[in-house]
Amino acid sequence: MAQAAPHTPATTPSAGGSGLDPLDLYAVRASLSDEERLVQESVARFVEGEVLPIIQSCFEEHRFPKELIPKLAALGLLGSSLQGYDCAGLNAICYGLICQELERGDSAIRSFVSVQSSLCMYPIFAFGSEAQKARYLPRMARGELIGCFGLTEPQGGSDPANMKTHAKKRGKDWVLNGSKMWITNGSIADVALVWAMTPAGMRGFLIDRDAPGFSAREIEHKFSLRASVTAALFLDNVLVPDEQVLPGVTGLKGPLSCLTQARYGICWGVIGAAQACLRQLLDYTATRTLFGRPLAHNQTIQVRLADMARRITAAQLLALQLGRLKDSGAMQPAQVSLAKWNNCRMALDIARDCRDMLGGAGISAEYAPIRHLLNLESVVTYEGTETIHELTIGRELTGFSAF
């Protein structure tokens, strides 16, 4: 199997003799605290030992490796940014590094952690009652309960304000009807956080998987994120007790706040996917001999590799500064949009160019770029498409909404 070599930063200096790490040309690692470096190293080891050996077959078999969940939990990677409730309480840079290392393995593993941490545990932590936090968070941190986040509907995910799923009061309880589409973890989740319209605006409902009238159906035939579970959710007169409604938020800003957390993680995650592709191409072009010399001796190959390193470096610095802003409490959603747009585009372009430089071998899943490329087609679409983030920046610059 020809999986990308794991990134072991201190031991992979560039061949140019300067001692620079080709995947970290601006020494981002050196600027990390001891704790941040430790987190990065332990997740990198986990990806090397547990993810890379199985991920190609998971992708080919369209299988999410559920067996990794207890290990992710044991490393403290579920809800890692939250304080209390058996969560690790790590800073934003650590969360970013976790996403980066996991996505070096595969976007599906980062996706699982993003949804569990940023889209399910975060809203329970930020908007839930004390009883909801006590009931769900410790078990979610231990990986005993899996969550999913149901916002997108079949009629158009970019415009969640046009929500058809609705909740009506019946006595003290709520009755929910509607459907959700493209929901990560949907059919393996023990609890679904479903966003639904009420007369007062959008609200979040925690629905246990065995609630009568609730069902999930896995979406098959995906060519992207094949190692991740994606499902449609159906709500047919689902009765939800009032104590299962998140009390702390009403309106679109509830789900959008969760998206800000998850998009932040994606800004880092996709750097890992791009680094995995570049690492493999540095090795491949050094050994593949054409026209009597290694491919890496050609100017156009070097220009393409240099361009990848340039774009990865810019993305790393963007993510690092975004993380510093987040840790200082100053991060704005528009800043997340710019980084999500830039970094996803960077990773998608690099994966495609790496696929091309592998020639015919590039279409085989034995090499990582095609898998990352296909995964990144989802990553550039979910959590706000590229266009949505471009228009968000347009609105920020001009003051006019073009949505």
How many residues interact with ligand TGC (rule CB under 6 A)?
Answer: 28
Q: Are 351 and 372 in contact (CB under 8 A)?
A: yes
- 392 binding partner (options ligand TGC, ligand FAD, none; Cβ < 5 to 8 Å by kind): ligand TGC
Report the residue from 36, 101, 106, 383 that binds ligand TGC according to the rule CB under 6 A: 383
- Quick one: 86 or 377, whose CB is closer to ligand FAD? 377
Residue number, 91 or 375, with CB nearest to ligand TGC: 375
- Note whether 382 binds ligand TGC by CB under 6 A: yes
252 is a site residue for ligand TGC (CB under 6 A): yes
**Which of the choices ligand FAD, ligand TGC, none does residue 253 contact, using the CB cut-off of 5 to 8 A by kind?**
ligand TGC
Residue among 321, 342, 314, 325 nearest 26 (CA): 314
Residue found by looking up tokens 């495609």 in the block: 352
Residues pairing with 180 in the sheet:
233
What is the C-alpha separation between 206 and 209, in angstroms, rounded?
Answer: 10
Phi and psi torsions of 291, nearest 5°: 50, 35
Q: What would the two tokens of residue 337 be?
A: 């949009």
In sequence order, what are the residues at sequence separation of 6 or more whose Cβ sits closer than 8 angstroms to the Cβ of residue 198?
Answer: 166, 167, 168, 169, 174, 250
Q: How many helices (H) and strands (E) does the chain have?
A: 12, 9
Q: Does the protein bind ligand TGC through residue 160 (CB under 6 A)?
A: yes
Q: Which amino acid is at 201?
A: G
Does residue 111 belong to the site contacting ligand TGC (CB under 6 A)?
A: yes
Interface residues with ligand FAD (CB under 6 A)? 115, 149-152, 156-158, 182-184, 225, 230, 378, 381-382, 385, 387-388, 403
The end-to-end CA distance of the chain, in Å, is 46
The answer to whether 47 touches 212, Cβ cutoff 8 Å, is no
The tokens for 9 are: 């930063």
Q: Decide which of ligand TGC, ligand FAD, none touches 156; Cβ closer than 5 to 8 Å per partner kind.
A: ligand FAD
Binding mask 317-336 for ligand TGC (x = CB under 6 A): ----------------x---
Q: Which residue's CB is nearer to ligand TGC, number 230 or number 280?
A: 230
Are 205 and 190 a contacting pair, CB within 8 Å?
no
Among this protein's residues, is 383 annotated catalytic?
A: yes
Which two three-digit tokens encode residue 241?
Answer: 């007790």
Determine contact, residues 157/182, Cβ cutoff 8 Å: yes
- Residue tagged active-site, from 60, 383, 386, 390: 383
SS3 376: helix
Q: Which does 150 bind (CB under 5 to 8 A by kind): ligand FAD, ligand TGC, none?
A: ligand FAD
Token pair for 324: 């510093």
Contact 299, 130 (CB under 8 A): no
Q: For the CB of residue 203, give the shortest distance to ligand FAD in the complex, in Å.
A: 15
Nearer residue to ligand TGC within complex by CB, 233 or 282: 233
Nearer to ligand TGC, 313 or 385 (CB): 385
Residue 164 interacts with, from ligand TGC, ligand FAD, none (CB under 5-8 Å by kind): none
Q: Which residue among 219, 256, 314, 325 contacts ligand TGC (CB under 6 A)?
A: 256
Q: Cα dist. 211→120, 207, 239, 259, 313 in Å?
A: 18, 7, 8, 26, 47
Binding map of ligand TGC across residues 259-298, x = CB under 6 A, - = no contact: xx-x------------------------------------
- Give which of ligand FAD, ligand TGC, none residue 161 binds (C-beta under 5 to 8 Å, depending on kind): ligand TGC
Closest CA to 245 of 283, 213, 207: 207
> Closer to ligand TGC at the Cβ: 82 or 163?
163
Question: Could you list the residues that contact ligand TGC (CB under 6 A)?
Answer: 111, 114-115, 149, 151-152, 157-161, 184, 251-253, 256-257, 259-260, 262, 333, 382-384, 388, 392, 401, 403
Q: Which residues have a catalytic role annotated?
A: 383
